[in-house]
Amino acid sequence: MPADSSAPAPIALDDSSLYIHRELSQLQFNIRVLEQALDEGTPLLERLKFLLIFSSNMDEFFEIRVAGLKRQITRSRPRIDADGIQPQQALERIADIAHQQVERQYQILNRTLLPALADEGIRFVRRRHWTPAIRDWVAAFFHAEVAPVVTPIGLDSAHPFPLLANKSLNFIVELEGVDDFGRDLGLAILPAPRSLPRLIRIPEAIGGEGVNHVFLSSMIHAHADDLFHGMSVKGCYQFRLTRNADLSMEVEDVADLASALRGELYARRFGDAVRLEVADNCPPHLVNYLLQQFKLGEDELYRVHGPVNLTRLFAITELTSHPHLRFPPFTPAIPKALQKTEDIFQTLTRQDVLLYHPYESFTPVIDFLRHAAQDPQVLAIKQTLYRSGADSQIVDALVEAARNGKEVTVVIELRARFDEESNLALASRLQAAGAVVIYGMLGFKTHAKLALVLRREQGTLVRYAHLGTGNYHAGNALLYTDYSLLTGNPLLCEDVSNLFHQLVGMGRAKPMHLLLHAPFTLRSHLLEMIVQEEANALSGLPAHIVIKINALTDAKMIKALFRASQAGVRIDLIVRGMCCLRPGIAGVSDNIHVRSIIGRQLEHSRVYYFLNAGEGNERVFLSSADWMERNLDRRIEACFPLTSDKLLRRVKKELGYYLRDNTHAWLLQADGSYQLASPADDDKLRHAQQRLQDKLGLALVEA
């Protein structure tokens, strides 16, 4: 029978229409965060927090993503990803979407959130609403606290336009008159010192009942004349410049990574300009002047109706005076296996312990290292650190261990973006305590989350390990969802030991028993498992893949998923942020479903599930790696299986909560947009994060 000429031609898997541009996908994630500010089921201060997180996310988006695209344009051969979009095209699309969403952000703030907060007694008092008492108090505060530390800069041939730091608050002031030197300057720049709060609380005796604040920018606007004595201020307008903040070290030319990094951290504050935010009442001639100074175009200008530095409002979201406007607090639980034991190592000889933060406490991870530091039978501790925070109990335990004579080796990744300075300080502290500090591998960021304890028991050396999907940061463990595995499994612990030898020493890695690690075995094994599911489906066996990650951008992995989908494999992807795979394309990805969960916790755990022909054969892996080129090819990552049937079944069940969520799940459509899931008429509400909190966490505690 001749082929049906009317049937559509099959789509090649490298067709650009099957892929979504990574930066446009990241922008969609930021928009999903902003949408949470409109969710009336979320407490009011938490809605404000989501709006501020959107602002913070957009800052980083411009500092890193937009800056990277602009840098690509200057190259003779810009990188074109599988979506086929040129960097200039991407920038144009980003500008259209970003302008719409930033305008929408300020509409939500001014029309929805601020009026609702005012109804609750939380007010941001604008100048037009200042009472005489507030005016007098503001004047006194300004002259006592603000005027002495600000330094207006008049612009003339001897005082050129100043070099302004990334994301700093500044004012452009239009002047009239002549100063003592006979200069008719016309313009001045007023940088707001970083030491000054951007939001000042008005004493209740002055402002009345409730929680009342005034913006620093309002104070400066009201008293700008006082800073230019004898001259007339025609206008004072706030603005903020965003710069390229991505470090650009050529690692092959670096002899001393720490020294080179210190120099780059200073340069980060003064990278190339990528965005200008100005008050929406700033006159066009001043706006054009600023654009010329920063070599920016109209597309890179954002006029805002409100403060240009919204992230400084985060302190408001932590108000303890209005507990009903915040999420009810809860106490993370301690698993039963660890509640009554005084010897964590004895517990781990009997069973692995799996923790799911923040529903289960991060304290056992800290205790694991603290006990190791104090136990006379422990000989050595090895640890990777990517982000741990400035005040880290983990680092305290490692310092204590080193001072107690243990052999402590710490692999610190200095290049963890925006944590470089903190990591340099941690490295110095550990070295001062006597620990051996390694800065990871040049060209490969150490992103794996591993700790290894070597202990002498009855004359034999025994290993224990912690492996995680998230960072050794106790604060993040209260906000991010991440898995931690504490184990005494000899094979897995030996693998961890071998990986540390590979990181610290020289020579080729020994074969691993259970651990998959990038950039060596992780990609190839993942592809093999996808191909196995594909073969199972073609053979009529059940086939299912569930992947929970933060980002999916790697074209090779996406093509493998496309082929599996074509073979009939059911594929569920839970991707919090960037997803370059376009689902729902007939004949290619119609068996693939993509969802993003946005809620109280930042979804950060990475889980890989493969049905492997049926129950009893299933494979579940936890990992530090997303499915991005950088994670699979240019980072040290660890991926570890759950060898306990009980723990495997538990994680499978928890994945099911996410797949059935119909209240906080955003479903990726074939056109690249996301739609919020909603329950069918006969279905009950399902909220994965609330279900996990109810199942794993303790009862709510009093605020």
- Mean pLDDT score, 1-20: 75
- Mean pLDDT score, 593-598: 98
Question: Domains of the chain, with CATH numbers?
Answer: 17-325 (3.30.1840.10), 336-513 (3.30.870.10), 518-696 (3.30.870.10)
**Residue 341 clears pLDDT 90, i.e. is over it:** no
Per the annotation, the verdict on 305 as an active-site residue is no
Peptide linkage before 358 cis (omega within 30 of 0): yes
**Residue 255 clears pLDDT 50, i.e. is over it:** no
pTM over 0.85: yes
- Mean pLDDT score, 614-640: 96
| 94-106 per-position pLDDT tens digit | 999 999 999 999 9
Which amino acid type is present at position 89? Q
Residue 591 Cα distances to 294, 565, 571, angstroms: 48, 5, 6
Highest mean predicted confidence (pLDDT) among 185-194, 255-264, 312-321, 523-532: 523-532
pLDDT of res. 301: 98
Q: How far apart are CA 635 and CA 625, in angstroms?
A: 9
The CB density around residue 265, as the number of other CB atoms within 10 Å, is: 13
Percent of the chain with pLDDT over 70: 92
Joined tokens for residue 30? 């930021």
pLDDT of res. 261: 47
**Residue 257 clears pLDDT 70, i.e. is over it:** no
pLDDT of res. 703: 27
Q: How far apart are CA 483 and CA 424, in angstroms?
A: 27
pLDDT of res. 252: 46
**Residue 254 clears pLDDT 50, i.e. is over it:** no
> For 375-474, where are the alpha helices, taking DSSP H only?
393-403, 420-433
User: 5 or 285, which is more confident?
Assistant: 285
Beta pairing partners, 579: 552
Q: Yes or no: say if 300 and 274 are a contact pair by the CB < 8 Å rule.
A: yes
Residue 523 Cα distances to 381, 529, 579, 606, angstroms: 29, 10, 18, 15
**Residue 639 clears pLDDT 70, i.e. is over it:** yes
Highest mean predicted confidence (pLDDT) among 386-390, 441-445, 662-666: 662-666
Q: How far apart are CA 108 and CA 102, in angstroms?
A: 10
Joined tokens for residue 25? 């996908």
Please calculate the CA angle 514-619-517 and round it to the nearest 5 degrees: 35
CA 71 from chain centre, in angstroms, equals: 22
Query: Where residue 271 falls among pLDDT bands split at 50, 70, 90?
Result: confident
Phi (first) and psi of residue 158, to 5 degrees: -90, -15
SS3 call for 380: strand
Q: How far apart are CA 574 and CA 682, in angstroms?
A: 25
- Mean pLDDT score, 231-253: 79
pLDDT of res. 415: 66
Q: How far apart are CA 108 and CA 3, in angstroms?
A: 56
pLDDT of res. 231: 83
User: 4 or 515, which is more confident?
Assistant: 515
Strand-strand pairing, 606-610 and 602-603? unpaired
pLDDT of res. 74: 83
Q: How far apart are CA 277 and CA 304, in angstroms?
A: 7
Q: Characterise 243 by phi-psi region: left (phi > 0), alpha (psi -120 to 50), beta (else).
A: beta
**Residue 467 clears pLDDT 90, i.e. is over it:** yes
Q: How far apart are CA 517 and CA 522, in angstroms?
A: 5
Query: Where residue 266 falls among pLDDT bands split at 50, 70, 90?
Result: low
Query: Where residue 34 falls among pLDDT bands split at 50, 70, 90?
Result: very high
Percent of the chain with pLDDT over 90: 77
- Mean pLDDT score, 21-38: 97
Q: Characterise 580 by phi-psi region: left (phi > 0), alpha (psi -120 to 50), beta (else).
A: alpha
| 512-553 per-position pLDDT tens digit | 999 999 999 999 999 999 999 999 999 999 999 999 999 999
pLDDT of res. 582: 97
- Mean pLDDT score, 124-151: 95
pLDDT of res. 177: 79
Please calculate the CA angle 140-143-144 and round it to the nearest 5 degrees: 80
pLDDT of res. 258: 53
Which amino acid type is present at position 424? L
Q: How far apart are CA 196 and CA 359, in angstroms?
A: 37
User: 445 or 449, which is more confident?
Assistant: 449
Q: Yes or no: say if 277 and 320 are a contact pair by the CB < 8 Å rule.
A: no
What DSSP assignment string belongs to 192-203? Answer: PPTTS-SEEEPP
pLDDT of res. 442: 74
Write down the catalytic residue from 447, 473, 664, 687: 447
**Residue 334 clears pLDDT 90, i.e. is over it:** yes
The CB density around residue 527, as the number of other CB atoms within 10 Å, is: 15
SS3 per-residue string spanning 519-577:
CCCHHHHHHHHHHHHHHHHHCCCCCEEEEEECCECCHHHHHHHHHHHHHCCEEEEEECC
Cβ neighbours of residue 514 closer than 8 Å, sequence gap 6 or more: 489, 491, 492, 495, 640, 641, 643
Average pLDDT of the residues of the chain: 91
- Mean pLDDT score, 645-654: 97
Q: How far apart are CA 293 and CA 241, in angstroms?
A: 11
Q: Whose CA is closest to 279, among 238, 243, 248, 234?
A: 238
- Mean pLDDT score, 5-19: 81
- Mean pLDDT score, 423-435: 87
Q: Whose CA is closest to 471, among 505, 522, 429, 422?
A: 422
- Mean pLDDT score, 306-311: 92
**Residue 157 clears pLDDT 80, i.e. is over it:** no
**Residue 423 clears pLDDT 90, i.e. is over it:** no
